Structures are given as C-alpha cells and as structure tokens.
C-alpha cells in the first residue's frame, strides 16, 4: 500500500533508515502530532485486519510505502477499500495541508525505488513494454488508460503517440490536474502488467512510467512575437510613459533648482557672511577698477536700463531684443544692471550649443544650459542602432530613436513647465486672485514671471539653424502664455527675420547698443585708471622733500596726457572691449599713443590672418566671400568712413567675381565675421562701414603697406582680367555662331556690331589691367 500526503514529504527520515527504528516509532503510542510516522498510523484504522511489517518513506514523493500482513480470507482490495473509506469519513489533514488529507492506494505493480535527481511532475510518460523480453507489447488506447489512471485523481489530458512516430517503445502522456495524483498513479502502477482482458494483448503489456515536464503553451508570448508591428509601438509608448512618470519630475526639480539657484554655495548665508568679512582682506583692485569703469558706462546708459526694467513690468506679449556689436556690453547691461536683484533668471548661451559636435553634444549643451538632468546623451546612438536592427528584421521602424528636434522640444517643454511652477510658487491661497488660472494670474503679476535671457542669438547663424528655430518658437510660447519674459541678446542686425517667424503679429521691444561717445569713452578709461590711483598706499606716505619727481610720485605714471588721450580715443572709437584693453595698457605704463598703435597693429594682423590669406573663399564651404572682395573693402574703407551698399555691389570685384558671384551673400558673410557692419535705413541696407572703429585705423595701416597692397591689387586685377576674358570668349562664341549662318540677315548687323564693341571694350580693359599688373609686379620684385 502507498500512502501519500504532503505532510509525509516533510519527515526527517532517509530512505535507508533502519527498519527496526521505524517500526519502534510506529508502535510507540507517544508519537507527536507533527511526526510523519504518526500520519501513517492515523491513516490505518484500528479495525482493519492488517499488521504493518515495513515502512519505506519517500522524501521526493511526499509519501511512504507501507508493507502489511492480512488474513487469507480477506483480499487486498477489500483492505484498500476499507482504508480509503476510513480516510473519507475521518480525513487525516496535517497543519500545512489543511484542504487535502492523506490518501491511500494499493500498489499493483513493481515500484522503482530510486534516489535520482528527478522530481515529480503532473505529466506521466507511460511506455508500453513487453512482459518478457522478446515478446510483443500492445499500445493501449486512451479509454484503457483512462480506466486505469482515473481512480488516482482528476486527469486533465491523455495524449497518444503520433501515428507516424517511429519512436520505440510506444508511449502515451497522461496529464493529471495535481502533482500528488501523478505521484500516486506512478507509485501504484509502475511495472503493472495489463492483462489481455483489459487490452494488454495475449502476453500482457507492462507499464513503465516516468515524470515528464509538460510544455506549457506560451500563447501570450507567441502572439507578441508574431505581431511585432503592433507590439513594438505599444512597447515604445509604454517605455516612454514610464520614462515620463519617473524622470520628468526629477528633471523638472533640477531645472527649478538651476533657475532659482537654490543649492548654490554663493547663495548660502554662511558664504555671504564669510565674504563680507574677507572682502577687505583679499586683493580686489582689478575688480574695483573694472567696476568703476563700468559705472561710468551704466550712468551713460541709465535711460536704456530703466527702459528695459519698465518693459519687464508690462504685460505685452512680445520679445525684448538687445542688439549691439560684440564687445558693446549687452550681457553686462542686462544681467548686472537691468536684472540686478532678480533671482529667477535663466540664461541660455547659444554659442556652446551651436558649436557642439554632433547631435549628442548639442543635446548635452542644451540640457546643461537649463539644468536639465539626468540626460542620457549616449542613449540616442544606442536607440538608433536598435531601431535600425528592428527595422531590418521586421520591416517596421520601432521608433526608439528620437530626432534632434524632438529631444530639444522635450528639454524645452520640461523647462517651460518648471518656469511656470516658479512663477506661481509665491501664490498664497489667501490672495484675492488665488482662484485665477495660471496664465491669468501670471498676466496680472508680470513681476513674478521668471526672465529668460537668450545670449549670442544667431551666433554662426548658418550652423545648427534648428536650434535657433526651436528657441524662438519656445520663447514665443513663453511670452504668449505669460510664463516668462524673454530677452534676446544678439550681434546680428538681421535678427527680425528669425524672430518674425515665431511672432509674426507682434512688434519687438528693441534696444540698440552702439559704441560709446568720445566723452563717455574718456570717462570710462579714466575711471579705470583713477580707481587704481586711489588704491596706491604710497600716495599719502611719500616724503615731500624728495627731489626725484618719478620717485616722489610713482603713481603719476598712470595718469596719461589728456590731450593725447583724446586723440587716441578718437582713433580707437567707443567699443567697450577695446577701451578696456586700452585702460589695461595704460595701467601697465604705456602711453596712449603707443597703446593705440599696438592695438591697431594687432587688429591689422587679425584682419590679415582671417580675411586676406589665400583660401578664405567660398570654395572651402565655410566662407561666402573671396579674398579679393575683402581687400576691396579694406582699401576702400581706408579712404572713406563708409561706402554705399549698392555701389559696392555694382563694383566689378563683387559683380564679376568668379569665386563668390553672390555679392549680397558675400557682404552678409563679411558682416557676420565682423570685418564690416551694414547700416540700415528705412529697413534696407544703405551703408557699409568698418566692423569696429579701430578697424578704420587698421585698414589704413594695411593699405599703406606697399608689398601687401601690390600683392592684393595684383590678385584683384588677375580676377578682373579673367572675368573680362570670359566675356570675350562668350562674345566670340556668339560671333562664330552668327558667322556660321548660310546667309547674313540684315537683322544681325546690330548684334554683330554690339558684340564687336563689347570685345573691344573688354580687350582695352584687359590691356589696362595687364599694364597695372606689370607695375605691381615691379613693386613686388623691388620691395621686401
């Protein structure tokens, strides 16, 4: 008899445990309630005419084989029925198996008591083998198998061997609903010989059983793998949603911390306290002199600063544009003066963004400028490869990779949401307008809106134009939704073309910064110098009886000759960076004339290097002008303060250029490179002037160089001669075509005369050019 229960699977006995010890424990009446042997004893009724002679515990099967003696007048099946009925009436249920108790079954076969590393499963592989070697076995039908195995538990499925299978011996699968039923069936029927009357054949068929892992039908996985066109987009959407749920709040937090400077050391009370007590100990002479010089500039531009501050208090839905040449102090005027004291200011510098290498670098720089983190800039390359692999295998683009435009849009959208939260962070429920929507509340309180400053807008406008487009569209959404004030800082005079696309129905608030006037420039330089004179401790300690004036007043060398300074500032102009450079040279002990000469020579060297060296043409894919065009402007502006825009375009160097035929594009490129500046009148380009005031002096210095002038003039004349030679070739080709006509119509006489006159005029120009070129070559051969 085989007894099976989950409780017996927990006993502490090994298969080879001493039989005498087991029987002693079985006969002991003081067995514990949790002892597995107690389960066996309780499962056999006292009225049953049996005497237990041996117990074989089965650890893996969770049961035990029980051998017993019984009287000859009682059959084994009657004893099985008695034990089964007793267990139904008085079930034995262990504590850890409260729903199904102990079951008992009569062993009809010859069980295989093995200790292999095999564990029970709910599927039995039933093999049909002959009773004796050499005899023939019969494959049992499903009906026969059902009648044999059903008594041990609920059968889920019976699977016969395929009819065309060549596998021997023949077999069938019997799947039980529960593993414990499969254990009972295997232990009771393993080695059982099916007689002829049950369908086992004349000699009988022996059953050999083993556990088999059932192959579960992965219907969900099969459907997923067979429908990638549906599953992959859904998976992408789920991953995107999960990313938004997890990372967007974190990124929004970092953007708000970046704008409000909440975690910066410089904003902590301890840092400010320490700085107040150490500022007089540290040597800050340079900072004081710079600040003193800038104060003179801010005093001069106080009206402009006040105007920007008033615009920030208005509710107008438009941009504020501060335009000025490089070095005019736009950023300092806006950040240090107009926005002084405001804590919620976001500065986005376009220069590192557009100069970044590759899309990953652009995304990384954009995220760093707004405090957007964490940013996985490498994930775009990986997702692109995954997308390509999926598309090559399934034929459908997975959509894992994102374009540069979509990723920039995501960064800017998160930033806009963070700016909105900053704007309403001070709103109190007790306020009278606390119930207003967010946009209405911010419209009513323009002073609470953050300020977004976009610096270096249109820096290298031909590079990464998508960055400028996304920034202008995003800025338009900010001002139209009353989320923030937006201030653009740009060097480009044609900024309205880009910004008008974003706000076509708005007029911009414009503030133009030019060069300083001579009086303000003079005060700026003197403020730099006098601030250092005031810091000279020797001024009050020098003895009055010293005979050497240079030793008596060592600081007097810092004070320049004002008459000479006026002349030098007139040459240098009012560009802020050039004036700072001059002030530093004066503090170093140079005279104003000497300092301006060195600044002019340095500017001339820069012009020569960046504009007049060979190779700076449109052929390199970066520049839109030719060396000859740059030299023409240098030579012409050396003798004139400005040139007419259209007059420049009509000159042969621009109109007949072979290397840079688009004259307007060449002027625009030279303007962006800051060699020249194009001044407008009534919205149209009118005048061409030097890019910086000091460039006028540099142009005159370059034009006075006989070797450089001869070399560049020779290049200009060579190009003009080539252009005239092309005109001659075209005219001669047309004349040959007219001459090839079978008869000479009278109507072609005028055209022939025109072409001949054109050839004559071009030839005269070529001869004049060659004569001038000969003189220039003599200069090059005689001058060093």
User: Distance (Å, rounded) from C-alpha 304 to C-alpha 300?
Assistant: 9
671: nearest Cα among 494, 466, 472, 465? 494
Q: Determine the 3-state secondary structure of 568 from DSSP.
A: helix
Q: Per-residue pLDDT tens for 749-765?
A: 888 888 888 888 888 88
Q: Which residues contact 613 (CB under 8 A, 6 or more apart)?
A: 627
User: Distance (Å, rounded) from C-alpha 320 to C-alpha 512?
Assistant: 11
Beta sheet of 676-681, edge-to-edge order = 643-644, 684-690, 676-681
Instruction: Enter the tokens of residue 6.
Output: 């989950």
Strands 676-681, 2-4: pairing is unpaired
pLDDT score of 415: 92
530: nearest Cα among 586, 570, 571, 579? 586
Strand boundaries in 46-189, DSSP class E:
51-58, 63-69, 103-105, 123-130, 155-160, 171-176
Written as one string, the DSSP assignment of 6-46 is TTGGG----TT--HHHHHHHHH-TT--TT-HHHHHHHHS-T
Query: Residue 512 — φ and ψ, nearest 5°?
Result: -105, 130
326: nearest Cα among 754, 673, 686? 673
pTM of the model: 0.61
Tally Cβ neighbours within 10 Å of residue 14. 10
Q: Is the torsion defined by CA of 341, 345, 350, 353 positive or negative? A: positive
Q: Which residue has the tokens 């450089």?
A: 708
How far, in whole angstroms, is CA 632 from its chain's centroid?
45
Instruction: Enter the tokens of residue 450.
Output: 């953050």
Beta sheet of 103-105, edge-to-edge order = 51-58, 63-69, 2-4, 103-105
Please determine whether the domains at 123-216 and 591-703 fall in the same fold group of CATH: no
Q: Annotate 260-284 with b (16+ C-beta within 10 A) or e (fewer).
A: beeeeeeeeeeeeeeeeeeeeeeee
**What is 591-703's CATH topology?**
Arc Repressor Mutant, subunit A (1.10.10)
454: nearest Cα among 392, 414, 412, 394? 412
Contact 146, 159 (CB under 8 A): no
Q: Which residue has the tokens 């202008």?
A: 472
Written as one string, the DSSP assignment of 238-287 is HHHHHHHHHHHHHHHHHHHHHHHTTT-GGGSHHHHHHHHHHTTTS--HHH
Question: Would you say domain 251-282+321-430+452-512 falls under CATH 2.30.170?
Answer: no
311: nearest Cα among 321, 301, 297? 321
Q: Which residue has the tokens 């670098």?
A: 361
Contact 376, 390 (CB under 8 A): no
Q: Torsion angle, CA of 106/112/118/119, rounded to 10 degrees?
A: 10
Query: How many CA atoms within 13 Å lie on the side-chain side of 252?
Result: 15
User: What's the chain's Rg over C-alpha atoms?
Assistant: 49
User: Distance (Å, rounded) from C-alpha 586 to C-alpha 563?
Assistant: 15
**What is 123-216's CATH topology?**
Alpha-Beta Plaits (3.30.70)
User: Distance (Å, rounded) from C-alpha 309 to C-alpha 336?
Assistant: 12
User: Distance (Å, rounded) from C-alpha 742 to C-alpha 737?
Assistant: 11
* Residue stretches of the chain with pLDDT short of 70: 1-36, 95-96, 216, 264-268, 279-296, 376-402, 461-463, 528, 531-563, 614-622, 683, 784
Q: Determine the 3-state secondary structure of 192 from DSSP.
A: coil
User: Which alpha helices (H) appear in 90-178, and where do they start and end?
Assistant: 142-149
Instruction: Enter the tokens of residue 664.
Output: 């307007």
Q: How far is CA 329 from CA 332, 339, 515, 522, 752, in A?
A: 5, 14, 10, 16, 62
pLDDT score of 158: 95
Q: Which residue has the tokens 């990986």?
A: 382
Q: Determine the 3-state secondary structure of 306 from DSSP.
A: helix
Q: What is the mean pLDDT of the chain?
A: 80
The DSSP output letter for 449 is S
For 677, the enclosing helix (H) or strand (E) is: strand 676-681
Contact 431, 329 (CB under 8 A): no
How far, in whole angstroms, is CA 525 from its chain's centroid?
45
User: Distance (Å, rounded) from C-alpha 8 to C-alpha 58?
Assistant: 8
Contact 87, 169 (CB under 8 A): no
pLDDT score of 543: 44
User: Distance (Å, rounded) from C-alpha 89 to C-alpha 95?
Assistant: 18
Partners of 292 in beta bridges: none
For 689, the enclosing helix (H) or strand (E) is: strand 684-690
Q: Per-residue pLDDT tens for 493-502?
A: 777 778 888 8
113: nearest Cα among 36, 56, 67? 56
Contact 339, 320 (CB under 8 A): no
Taking the domains of the chain in order of start, what are their residue ranges? 2-105, 123-216, 251-282+321-430+452-512, 284-312+515-538+554-590, 591-703, 705-784
Query: What's the angle, vertex CA 628, arms to CA 623 and CA 634, rounded to 5?
Result: 95
Q: Per-residue pLDDT tens for 679-737?
A: 878 768 889 988 888 888 899 898 888 888 888 888 888 888 888 888 888 888 888 88
| Contacts by residues 72-76 (CB-CB < 8 Å, ≥ 24 positions apart) | 74/49, 76/106
Strands 320-323, 509-512: pairing is parallel
Q: Which residue has the tokens 């370059």?
A: 702
User: Which alpha helices (H) appear in 150-227, and where do they start and end?
Assistant: 179-189, 219-226
Q: What is the largest CA-CA distance in the chain?
A: 150
User: Distance (Å, rounded) from C-alpha 310 to C-alpha 648?
Assistant: 41
Q: Which residues contact 697 (CB under 8 A, 6 or more apart)?
A: 571, 572, 596, 600, 603
User: Distance (Å, rounded) from C-alpha 719 to C-alpha 150?
Assistant: 106
Q: Which residue has the tokens 């487009």?
A: 469
Q: How far is CA 469 from CA 459, 476, 488, 670, in A?
A: 13, 11, 13, 23
Residues in the chain, overall count: 784
For 722, the enclosing helix (H) or strand (E) is: helix 706-739
Q: Which residues contact 268 (CB under 8 A, 6 or more apart)?
A: none
Q: Determine the 3-state secondary structure of 328 from DSSP.
A: coil
Tally Cβ neighbours within 10 Å of residue 687. 17
């Amino acid at each position: 008899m085989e007894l099976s229960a989950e409780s017996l699977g927990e006993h502490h006995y090994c298969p080879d445990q001493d039989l005498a010890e087991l029987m002693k424990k079985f006969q002991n009446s003081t067995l514990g309630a949790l002892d597995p042997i107690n389960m066996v004893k309780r499962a056999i009724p006292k009225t049953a005419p049996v005497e237990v002679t041996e117990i074989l515990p089965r650890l893996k099967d969770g049961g035990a084989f029980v051998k017993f003696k019984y009287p000859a007048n009682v059959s084994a099946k009657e004893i099985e029925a008695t034990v089964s009925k007793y267990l139904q009436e008085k079930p034995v249920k262990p504590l850890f198996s409260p729903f199904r108790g102990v079951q008992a079954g009569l062993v009809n076969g010859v069980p295989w008591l093995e200790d292999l590393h095999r564990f029970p499963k709910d599927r039995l592989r039933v093999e049909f083998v002959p009773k004796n070697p050499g005899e023939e076995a019969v494959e049992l039908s499903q009906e026969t198998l059902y009648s044999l195995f059903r008594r041990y538990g609920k059968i889920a499925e019976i699977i016969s061997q395929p009819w065309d299978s060549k596998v021997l011996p023949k077999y069938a699968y019997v799947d039980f609903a529960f593993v414990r039923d499969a254990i009972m069936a295997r232990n009771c029927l393993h080695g059982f010989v099916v007689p002829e009357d049950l369908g086992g054949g004349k000699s009988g068929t022996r059953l050999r059983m083993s556990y088999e892992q059932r192959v579960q039908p992965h219907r969900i996985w099969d459907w997923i793998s067979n429908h990638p066109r549906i599953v992959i987009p859904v998976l992408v959407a789920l991953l995107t949603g999960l990313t938004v749920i997890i990372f967007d709040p974190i990124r929004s937090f970092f953007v708000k911390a970046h704008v409000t400077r909440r975690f910066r050391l410089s904003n902590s009370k301890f840092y400010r306290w320490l700085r107040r007590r150490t500022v007089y100990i540290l040597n800050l002479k340079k900072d004081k002199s710079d600040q003193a010089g800038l104060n003179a500039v801010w005093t001069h531009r106080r009206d402009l600063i006040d105007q920007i501050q008033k615009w920030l208090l208005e509710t107008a839905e438009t941009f504020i544009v501060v335009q000025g040449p490089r070095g005019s102090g736009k950023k300092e005027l806006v950040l240090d003066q107009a926005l002084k004291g405001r804590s919620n200011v976001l500065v986005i510098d376009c220069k590192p963004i557009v100069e970044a290498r590759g899309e990953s670098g652009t995304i990384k720089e954009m995220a760093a400028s707004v405090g957007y983190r964490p940013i996985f800039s490498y994930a775009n390359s990986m997702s692109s490869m995954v997308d390509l692999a999926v598309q090559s295998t399934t034929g459908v683009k997975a959509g894992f990779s994102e374009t540069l435009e979509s990723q920039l849009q995501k960064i800017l959208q998160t930033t806009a949401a963070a700016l909105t939260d900053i704007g309403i962070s001070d709103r109190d429920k007790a306020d009278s307008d606390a119930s207003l929507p967010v946009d209405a509340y911010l419209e009513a309180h323009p002073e609470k809106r953050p300020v977004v400053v976009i610096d270096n807008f249109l820096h290298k406008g031909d590079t990464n134009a998508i960055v400028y487009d996304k920034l202008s569209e995003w800025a338009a959404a900010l001002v139209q939704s009353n989320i923030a004030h937006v201030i653009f800082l740009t060097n480009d005079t044609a900024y309205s073309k880009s910004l008008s696309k974003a706000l076509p129905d708005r007029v911009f608030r414009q503030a133009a910064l030019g060069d300083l006037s001579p009086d303000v420039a003079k005060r700026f330089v003197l403020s730099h110098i006098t601030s250092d004179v005031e810091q000279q401790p020797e001024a009050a300690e020098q003895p009055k009886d010293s005979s050497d004036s240079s030793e008596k007043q060592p600081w007097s060398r810092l004070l320049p000759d004002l008459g000479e300074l006026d002349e030098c500032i007139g040459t240098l102009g009012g560009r802020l960076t050039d004036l700072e450079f001059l002030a530093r040279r004066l503090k170093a002990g140079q005279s104003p004339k000497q300092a301006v000469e060195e600044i002019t020579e340095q500017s001339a060297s820069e012009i020569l290097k960046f504009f007049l060296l060979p190779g700076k043409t449109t052929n390199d894919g970066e520049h839109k002008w030719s060396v000859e065009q740059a030299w023409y402007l240098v030579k012409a502006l050396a003798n004139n303060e400005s040139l007419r825009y259209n007059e420049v375009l009509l000159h042969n160097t621009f109109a007949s250029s072979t290397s840079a035929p688009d004259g307007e594009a060449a002027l625009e490129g030279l303007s962006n490179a800051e060699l020249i500046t194009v001044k407008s009148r009534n919205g149209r380009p009118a005048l061409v002037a030097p890019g910086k005031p000091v460039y006028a002096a540099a142009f005159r210095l370059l034009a006075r160089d006989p070797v450089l002038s001869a070399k560049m003039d020779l290049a200009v004349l060579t190009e003009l001669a080539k252009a005239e030679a092309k005109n001659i070739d075209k005219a001669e080709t047309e004349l040959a075509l007219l001459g090839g006509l079978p008869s000479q119509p009278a109507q072609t006489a005028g055209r022939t005369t025109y072409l001949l006159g054109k050839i004559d005029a071009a030839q005269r120009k070529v001869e004049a050019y060659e004569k001038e070129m000969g003189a220039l070559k003599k200069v090059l051969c005689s001058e060093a």
